[in-house]
Structure 1
Amino acid sequence: MTSTASHHSILDNPHVLDLFAGPGGLDVAGHSLDIPSLGIEWDRSACLTRYAAGLETLHADVSAVRREAFESLPPEINVLAGGPPCQTYSVAGHGAGRQALDRVKGYIRQLTAGDSDEEIDKALSTLTDPRTALVLEPLRYAIQATRSPNRGNRPYDIIVLEQVPAVAPLWEHYAKVLSDTGLPDGTRYKVVVGVLDTETYGVPQTRSRAVLIARREGLGEPSLPSPTHRSYDAKEWNRRNGTSEPDPGTEKVRQPTLDESADPREDGELRPWRSMRDALRSPVGSHRGRPTPFLVRSNYGSSGNPGRRGVRTDRQPAATVTGRISRFVVFEHLDEKVVHEGPRFTMNEAGMLQSFPPDYPWSGTAQAQQVGNAVPPLFGAHLLSAALGLPRPAPEELSKPWQPATEEQRAKLRSDGCGDPDNCTARCPQPKDQVPPPSSMRPRGVKKASPK
């Protein structure tokens, strides 16, 4: 896959290390820009998807690679990227990370002050939810790079991180220490942080992400990617249509007659946000096209904004695609009086709403969770392009059907990633070692009072 943009990167040969790589959102973004990447992912099913897609992968625990196998990583890697797991920080989670924000900021100060890994690990062991500590791994990798004989103690040139908006205060703290204090060896970075909406970059979905882009001093000032599309505003939508969000349970559903994605106001060069119709209506690859019009009902996936959930027409962007995308109810064959429940989104369609190419080879189990956890590739391409000083990515590069790996390629990738062409090995993370999500942050044994 070749981008139509000419390459004038601030780095001669960018090479990405993608931590917590998931099924490949950021790697697909790099692929669209002709930038090689290596992903580290510990979930077996996500790795199966990556192997099927032809992506270089280590089936491993990010923390374990840093501790035990950092010197085996390709020394030419100069871009560190990743989206640490967000469950404990997410508004949809139980909030252990939000409760530990101040403690985690303290650990960041300890790391940049040069405290030993043993001291840091001992302190982190007291966290309520161990996953909270994973947000520190990118910083620990950045420090480890400066201590790596295999790299000649050379720091990463670029750092790109993304997470749920609740992590923005931590990214701000990252920025402060990277620019003011620097790494223990004295390396400093120019850093920019912001909360961005993915629909403003052409993703047919409303999803907000906190992002950090850092460049090593001497490589110029970084900037956030400029939006290419207009933002979605539920209140503005309702005002223009003279109605609240439609309810498929009512006898009559109004279908707007105008193109709601085309805002009549002058808005510079920004394009209309992309709708579900834009993404799914036309046949492409094995996707036969989703009949329109349709409605989608979701009670989940609002990125913390209540105006972004509920029912949407195919002329609107999707609500945030999460691991519950397979539960979104789709209604179609609408007329003035009749609404029928149609087929729910396939994984191929869910991936396309995330801006994955059609026919991306979702594999293994929990595929909906893989889709929901992924970085939208088009958004990732904008982040990488901004970080590296490249022109805006060409969206059409991600609209072409994905060519999966051959069986021979898959076997080699799995042998490299797991140690065996057909199976996981002892070096792979074991499911039993996964950190289970806490059932609740409420004290055990406390029951809600029964209504009287």
Structure 2
Amino acid sequence: MNSPGKPVHHLDGARILDLFAGPGGLDVAAHFLGFKSIGIEWDRNACETRYAAGLPTIHADVRVMRESRFDEIPESVDVLAGGPPCQSFSVAGSGAGRRALDVVKKFIHRLVDGDNDAKIDEDLHALGDDTRTALVLEPLRWLLKAIETEGRTPYNVIVLEQVPAVLPLWEVYAKLLRRGEGRFNGVKYEAECCVLKTEQFGVPQTRKRAVLIARLAGLGPPKRLDPTHLPFDLYREKRNVVHPDVYPSESAFPETRRRWVSMAESLEEASRSKDSSVDVSRLRTGGRMQFFVVSNYGSGGDPKNRGRRLSSEPSFTVTGKISRNKVYRSISEYEAGRADRFTIPESGVLQTFPHNFPWSGKDQAQQVGNAVPPLLGMHVLSGAIRRSSPTAAELASATTWPSVSRTTENDLRLLGCGDQSQCPPDSHKAVRTRGGSSPRAEYPETDASDASPP
């Protein structure tokens, strides 16, 4: 921003730009891999979490940043990453994006062919569907901006993720990146896209993500992302659970690859960490952690048929509604209607955030559900940037978040929100902290409908 006192050193040496940063899933992954990142995020609550975590952030709309503030992004950034909002594409959403897939493909081609940007925006709004669908074009627009801006160089690496329904769009992206035609002006990439299952990368949760990875031609192709764990489907397709307290034995799984990580394993490990925010004593019976979860969502197309997961299995996909899932230690508790709930730190652990990650602001469940699982992010970023898998030491270190001083938090808030005129309209007002000159955010009352989409 243009504030006279902005602490620009927090952006120095940054390599990764995360366009839809949320509370920091990819940024946390980058940190544990040793890469510095910058996030652009419009939701004020997610920004508060990012400031508390010490993550460099610009509180802004990605479109405004691209159009009028592109020069604020350090030239050291050579990795473009992002997961555009997914509600219109997701199974749980309205489906506007899925219905418009073929139309959006045409817009992608129009952008690359040099059609007028203003006309494209006008036609996008005329679709009459969920306006967030248009945000899936933003990574492409940022890429073209870097290619066409004098003094800038094309990004070396591109990493994009979304719900599986967006895979056809990533495939169009990949074809255009390989060709280097039109506004790419001869700049070509080696690009691959696929759908990944999070439990196959050690995340204690079943979740599918469509991922695109591209590397500038001449730098070598992206590394193939080889799963480290078994898919949960391997067991789920064969199980016939009569009672939710019947647990699978280790002999049920092949020995050629590690079994997926369960909810019980991840929460138990997090609870053993020093100064852990996770206390699972209430989930133990006779000294053993044993529970089952009843989903907030229907199963098999029947909204009344709630799915169930055992503590010895991965979690359901963690969404912004995870606090509505019901946790029971036994059938008797279930029959009596005595349900527990996952706390925010526990929900974060199921997303593979560190046990002590400083969730802040409002709508924290929504923030957790919106995030990219950092552990999956480590595999994706490492394969994209280094063409290798994360090391065992890096993966082992990703369980505890470093403490952040109040000075650093205030500096980052000043960087992200210090110039109120450049933040999203009416998002917050900055006030002075008592005894200091750094601003802190003060918010009007909101509800969950304000939350940033995943």
The normalised TM-score by structure 2 is 0.83
The CA deviation at 1:111 is: 1.3
2:294 maps to a residue whose letter is: R
| Residue 196 (structure 1) aligns with | 196
Alpha-carbon RMSD across the aligned residues, in angstroms, is 2.8
| Residue 355 (structure 2) aligns with | 358
- For 2:261 and 2:180, the matched residues in 1 are separated by 41
Contact 2:42 2:424 in 1 (8 A): yes
Contact 2:223 2:388 in 1 (8 A): no
Contact 1:329 1:341 in 2 (8 A): no
- For 2:249 and 2:332, the matched residues in 1 are separated by 16
Contact 1:202 1:228 in 2 (8 A): yes
| Residue 390 (structure 1) aligns with | 388
| Residue 425 (structure 2) aligns with | 430
Greater CA drift, 127-136 or 390-399: 390-399
The CA deviation at 1:238 is: 6.4
Q: CA 1:60–1:380 in 2, change beyond 3 Å: closer, same or farther?
A: same
Q: CA 1:302–1:215 in 2, change beyond 3 Å: closer, same or farther?
A: farther
The CA deviation at 1:316 is: 0.3
Task: Confirm whether residue 286 of structure 1 aligns to residue 285 of structure 2.
Answer: no
Task: Confirm whether residue 21 of structure 1 aligns to residue 6 of structure 2.
Answer: no
1:430 maps to a residue whose letter is: P
The CA deviation at 1:100 is: 1.3
> Tell me, what secondary structure is at the counterpart of 2:253?
coil
Contact 1:326 1:368 in 2 (8 A): yes
| Residue 440 (structure 2) aligns with | none
1:408 maps to a residue whose letter is: T
- For 1:211 and 1:347, the matched residues in 2 are separated by 27
Contact 1:301 1:321 in 2 (8 A): no
2:202 maps to a residue whose letter is: G
Please give the per-residue CA displacement for 1:237-296, whole angstroms capped at 9, x wherever unaligned: 4635x435x4xxxxxx5432634xx643243xx211000011112422232234210111
1:75 maps to a residue whose letter is: E
Contact 1:301 1:319 in 2 (8 A): no
1:231 maps to a residue whose letter is: P
1:319 maps to a residue whose letter is: F
The CA deviation at 1:342 is: 4.6
Please give the per-residue CA displacement for 1:130-175, whole angstroms capped at 9, x wherever unaligned: 11100000000000001223xx231001000000001011011111
The CA deviation at 1:405 is: 2.0
- For 1:381 and 1:83, the matched residues in 2 are separated by 15
Task: Confirm whether residue 109 of structure 1 aligns to residue 96 of structure 2.
Answer: no
| Residue 223 (structure 1) aligns with | 223
Greater CA drift, 172-181 or 334-343: 334-343
| Residue 146 (structure 1) aligns with | 147
| Residue 135 (structure 2) aligns with | 134
Identity rate, percent:
49
Contact 1:105 1:170 in 2 (8 A): yes
- For 2:277 and 2:138, the matched residues in 1 are separated by 39
The normalised TM-score by structure 1 is 0.83
Task: Confirm whether residue 414 of structure 1 aligns to residue 413 of structure 2.
Answer: yes
The CA deviation at 1:332 is: 1.2
> Tell me, what secondary structure is at the counterpart of 1:206?
coil
The CA deviation at 1:125 is: 2.5
Q: CA 1:104–1:302 in 2, change beyond 3 Å: closer, same or farther?
A: farther
The CA deviation at 1:77 is: 0.3
- For 2:155 and 2:39, the matched residues in 1 are separated by 16
- For 1:325 and 1:302, the matched residues in 2 are separated by 16
1:137 maps to a residue whose letter is: E
Contact 1:196 1:208 in 2 (8 A): yes
Please give the per-residue CA displacement for 1:344-390, whole angstroms capped at 9, x wherever unaligned: 10000000000000111111111111000100000001000110213
Task: Confirm whether residue 324 of structure 1 aligns to residue 321 of structure 2.
Answer: yes
Contact 2:253 2:259 in 1 (8 A): no
> Tell me, what secondary structure is at the counterpart of 1:220?
coil
- For 1:179 and 1:202, the matched residues in 2 are separated by 31
| Aligned ranges 1:43-122 → 2 under 5 Å | 43-122=43-122
> Tell me, what secondary structure is at the counterpart of 1:214?
strand
Q: Write 1 or 2 for the structure with the bigger share of helix.
A: 2
Q: CA 1:193–1:257 in 2, change beyond 3 Å: closer, same or farther?
A: closer
| Residue 184 (structure 1) aligns with | 184
Give the total of aligned pairs: 403
Q: CA 1:38–1:254 in 2, change beyond 3 Å: closer, same or farther?
A: closer
> Tell me, what secondary structure is at the counterpart of 2:22?
coil
| Aligned ranges 1:296-375 → 2 under 5 Å | 296-300=293-297, 310-332=307-329, 341-375=338-372
Q: CA 1:14–1:226 in 2, change beyond 3 Å: closer, same or farther?
A: farther
The CA deviation at 1:337 is: 10
The CA deviation at 1:432 is: 7.4
- For 2:301 and 2:176, the matched residues in 1 are separated by 28
Q: CA 1:14–1:216 in 2, change beyond 3 Å: closer, same or farther?
A: farther
Task: Confirm whether residue 274 of structure 1 aligns to residue 271 of structure 2.
Answer: no
Q: CA 1:97–1:79 in 2, change beyond 3 Å: closer, same or farther?
A: same
Contact 2:14 2:38 in 1 (8 A): no
- For 1:237 and 1:168, the matched residues in 2 are separated by 25
Contact 1:302 1:319 in 2 (8 A): no
- For 2:205 and 2:301, the matched residues in 1 are separated by 14
| Residue 443 (structure 1) aligns with | none
Q: CA 1:398–1:304 in 2, change beyond 3 Å: closer, same or farther?
A: farther
Please give the per-residue CA displacement for 1:390-423, whole angstroms capped at 9, x wherever unaligned: 33343222222x2342111111000000116xxx
